[in-house]
C-alpha cells in the first residue's frame, strides 16, 4: 500500500481503538483529560524534535502572522473536537461519536470538491451517495438531531482540510498546534491543582500513568494522519476514515453494550457497501495505472 494511505489508515485504526484508553480514566472529567492530552502531546512532540534536531522552522514561522492564524484555528478545532469526543465516550455515547466519524468522510468529499477543486470519478460519487444514504438512515433512526455527531464531523473535517493545505510538516504542525494550546492547557491544569480538583499527582499511580500516556496516545495517530492527509485526495482520506468509526461501533455495541437496533444495522450495511464499491473501483484504477506504466 502506498505510504500516504497506509499512514492515514493506521491513524484511523488507532482512533477507533481510543475509547479503550478513555474508559481507563472514566473517573477523570473530560476537560481535564483534554488538558492533559494537549500538555503531554507537546512534551512528546518537542522530544521528537530534539531527537531529530528540527527546530530551524520555528523562528521563521513565528514571524508569519497568516501561518500562526491558520494553525491557531486548526488548534482550536482540534481541541474542541477532543473535548466533545472524550465527553461523549465518558457519557456512554460511543455510538454517537461513531456516527460523527461516519458523517465526516462525506464532509471531506464536499470540502475537497468545493475548496480544493477535486473531481471524484463517477463510481466514487456513487459510493459517496450510498454512504450518505447509510448515514441519513442512521441519523433518522436516532429520532433526534444528532448534534454530537454533526459537531464532531464538521470540526474534524475542517481540521483535516487545514492540515492538508498547511505549509508545515506533520511533526512541526502538531508541535505548533500544541504550543498554541499550551497556555490554555497549562493554565487549566494549574487552576485545577490550586482548586483541589486535579486527579493527577494525588497518589493514584495508575491514573497518573494513564494521563501521562495521553501524550503518545494522542500524538502518534495525529502525526500519522497529518502525514497521510498531505499525500492522498480528500475523497480517499474520507473513505479510509470509515475504519475508525467502524471499530468504535463494534466497541460500543459488543463491549460497552450500548443500545443497538436493527435500524442501525441497516445503516451500517449501507456504509460498508459504499466502502466495497469505492475500494473495488480504486483497485481497478490502480491496476490499470500499473499496467500502463509496465507497458
Separation CA 75–CA 69 (nearest Å): 10
Residue 128's pLDDT band (cuts 50, 70, 90): confident
Largest CA distance in the chain: 70
* Cβ 84 vs Cβ 153: under 8 Å: no
What's the pLDDT tens digit per position in 182-216? Answer: 999 999 999 999 999 999 988 899 999 999 999 99
Alpha-carbon 242 to chain mean position = 11
Opening angle at CA 96, ends 144 and 227, nearest 5: 135
pLDDT interval class at 291 (50, 70, 90)? confident
Cell numbers of 25, please? 480514566
Positive/negative CA dihedral, 1, 237, 17, 126: negative
Cβ pair 164, 230 in contact under 8 A? yes
**Cβ–Cβ under 8 Å, residues 257 and 92:** no
18 vs 49, 55, 94, 136, CA distance in Å? 25, 30, 11, 25
* pTM summary value: 0.83
- Is the distance from CB of 171 to CB of 48 less than 8 angstroms? yes
Backbone dihedral angles phi then psi of residue 11, each to the nearest 5 degrees: -60, -45
DSSP one-letter string for 33-85: HHHHHHHHHHHHHHHHHHHHT--TTHHHHHT-HHHHHHHHHHHHHHHHHHHHH
Mean pLDDT on 5-16? 89
Report how far residue 245's alpha carbon sits from residue 95's, in angstroms, rounded to the nearest whole number: 8
d(CA 93, CA 23): 12
Per-residue pLDDT, averaged over 73-96, amounts to 93
* Residue 89 or residue 236, greater confidence: 89
Tell me the C-alpha distance between 74 and 57, whole Å: 18
Q: Which residue has the cell 518537542?
A: 46
Spatial distance between the Cα atoms of 70 and 180, rounded to a whole number of angstroms: 11
User: For 141-178, how does the pLDDT look when each residue is reduced to its tens digit (9 = 90+)?
Assistant: 777 667 898 899 899 899 988 887 777 877 888 899 99
Nearest to 40 by CA among 178, 225, 196: 178
Question: According to the model, what pLDDT value does residue 41 have?
Answer: 92
Q: Indicate the domain borders of the chain.
A: 3-294
User: Among candidates 272, 188, 251, 221, which has minimal Cα distance to 20?
Assistant: 251
CA distance 225 to 243: 13
Amino acid at each position: 500500500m502506498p505510504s500516504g494511505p497506509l499512514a492515514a489508515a493506521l491513524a484511523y485504526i488507532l482512533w477507533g481503538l481510543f475509547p479503550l484508553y478513555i474508559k481507563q480514566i472514566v473517573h477523570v472529567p473530560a476537560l481535564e483529560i483534554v488538558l492533559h492530552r494537549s500538555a503531554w502531546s507537546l512534551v512528546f512532540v518537542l522530544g521528537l524534535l530534539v531527537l531529530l534536531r528540527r527546530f530551524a522552522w520555528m523562528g521563521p514561522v513565528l514571524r508569519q502572522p497568516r501561518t500562526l492564524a491558520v494553525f491557531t484555528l486548526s488548534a482550536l478545532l482540534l481541541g474542541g473536537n477532543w473535548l466533545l469526543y472524550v465527553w461523549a465516550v465518558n457519557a456512554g455515547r460511543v455510538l454517537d461519536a461513531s456516527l460523527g466519524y461516519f458523517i465526516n468522510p462525506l464532509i471531506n468529499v464536499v470540502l475537497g470538491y468545493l475548496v480544493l477543486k477535486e473531481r471524484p470519478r463517477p463510481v466514487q460519487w456513487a459510493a459517496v451517495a450510498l454512504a450518505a444514504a447509510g448515514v441519513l438512515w442512521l441519523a433518522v433512526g436516532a429520532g433526534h438531531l444528532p448534534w454530537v455527531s454533526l459537531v464532531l464531523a464538521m470540526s474534524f473535517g475542517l481540521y483535516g482540510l487545514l492540515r492538508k493545505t498547511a505549509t508545515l510538516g506533520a511533526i512541526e504542525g502538531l508541535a505548533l498546534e500544541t504550543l498554541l494550546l499550551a497556555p490554555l492547557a497549562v493554565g487549566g491544569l494549574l487552576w485545577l491543582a490550586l482548586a483541589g480538583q486535579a486527579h493527577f499527582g494525588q497518589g493514584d499511580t495508575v491514573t497518573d500513568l494513564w494521563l501521562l500516556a495521553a501524550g503518545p496516545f494522542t500524538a502518534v495517530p495525529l502525526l500519522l494522519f497529518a502525514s497521510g492527509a498531505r499525500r492522498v485526495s480528500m475523497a480517499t482520506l474520507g473513505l479510509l476514515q470509515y475504519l475508525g468509526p467502524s471499530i468504535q461501533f463494534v466497541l460500543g455495541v459488543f463491549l460497552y453494550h450500548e443500545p443497538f437496533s436493527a435500524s442501525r444495522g441497516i445503516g451500517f450495511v449501507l456504509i460498508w457497501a459504499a466502502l466495497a464499491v469505492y475500494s473495488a473501483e480504486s483497485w481497478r484504477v490502480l491496476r490499470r495505472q500499473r499496467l500502463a506504466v509496465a507497458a
